[in-house]
Amino acid sequence: MLSKFPYLRQDFFASVVVFLVAVPLCVGVAVASGVPAELGLITGIVGGLVTGFMRGSSLQVSGPAAGLTVIVFEAVSEFGVGTLGVIVLIAGLLQLAMGFFRIGRWFRAISVSVVEGMLCGIGLVIIAGQIYAAAGLKAPETGVGKITGLLGAFADVYGSTEALASLAIGAGTIAVIVLWKRLPKRAQSVPGALAAVMLATALTLTLGLPVATVEVEGLLGVVQPPGAGAFGELASPAIWGTIIAFALIASAESLFSAAA
């Protein structure tokens, strides 16, 4: 057994670490995308099983990514969670077709500055939106509203003990992740994201801080295959713009991540 899989022990412990880091990340990306936390866990499970059966490759990109958070949130707000599955399905089929016709090479014509600008813009909206979540406040629905409403959000934070406690925990988590890289190499064997989540969770439970927690009620109950009504949305021209955006942005992120 060990002769066939000489790195089984290392792979097992590596998979445990990846699991512990990916679980809160899947939940966080799901919540930021405007869908239930359970869907983030389901997506992480399905993605892990599918990519796990594929041969390893330096060009294989898998795992939760925040780059599509903004566009997923907009799609859920406009079309609903039920139609999101149809959007992802058609976008995936488009990606397969693009791969078959070798359209990926066309991305070389796109300026790196354009891609960096796109990712920076998405990042700013994600950061602005997560500040509201970190403080336990309701975020505006539009990206511009999230950015322009930050001053009012900070004013609301100073008037609420719960919001201040929640924001402090969020800021402490970020600080641990940033400063973890300065610790000795032996300590860095534990990923900074995992250490930050564990420390912040322990501190919250020990002090009994009044912060909101993620509620997961069950995985199977949240799985709802899209019905005929969801596929009927394909007759609307608006949804095709979202589908094409999904396919192009996801492909661009994967290709440029591979190039990096």
Q: What integer pLDDT is reported at residue 86 of this predicted model?
A: 92
Q: What integer pLDDT is reported at residue 242 of this predicted model?
A: 92
Mean pLDDT of the chain: 82
Amino acid code (one letter) for 95: Q
Q: What is the mean pLDDT of residues 226-248?
A: 87
Q: What integer pLDDT is reported at residue 254 of this predicted model?
A: 74
Q: Is the pLDDT of residue 234 over 70?
A: yes
Q: What integer pLDDT is reported at residue 259 of this predicted model?
A: 63
Q: What integer pLDDT is reported at residue 61 of this predicted model?
A: 63
Q: Are 255 and 104 in contact (CB under 8 A)?
A: yes
Per-residue confidence band for 183, with pLDDT thresholds at 50, 70 and 90: confident
Q: What is the mean pLDDT of residues 21-41?
A: 84
3-state helix, strand, coil in the chain (%, to 5): 75, 0, 25
Q: Are 218 and 69 in contact (CB under 8 A)?
A: no
CB atoms within 10 A of CB 117: 11
Q: What is the mean pLDDT of residues 248-252?
A: 82
Q: Is the pLDDT of residue 216 over 80?
A: no
Would you say the pTM of this structure is higher than 0.75?
Answer: no
Q: Is the pLDDT of residue 257 over 70?
A: no
pLDDT tens by residue, 187-202: 777 888 888 888 998 9
Q: What integer pLDDT is reported at residue 150 of this predicted model?
A: 87
Q: What integer pLDDT is reported at residue 239 of this predicted model?
A: 92
pLDDT tens by residue, 64-111: 677 788 888 888 888 888 898 899 999 999 999 988 888 877 777 777
Task: Please report how many Cα atoms fall inside a 13 Å half-sphere around the Cα of residue 9, on the Cβ side.
Answer: 3
pLDDT tens by residue, 121-170: 878 888 888 888 888 888 887 778 888 888 888 888 887 888 888 888 98
Residue 252 to residues 33, 47, 92, 112: CA-CA distances in angstroms?
Answer: 19, 19, 13, 11
Name the DSSP letter for residue 183: S
Exposure string over 146-156, b if 16+ CB within 10 A, otherwise e: beebeeebeee
Per-residue confidence band for 260, with pLDDT thresholds at 50, 70 and 90: low
Q: Is the pLDDT of residue 56 over 70?
A: no
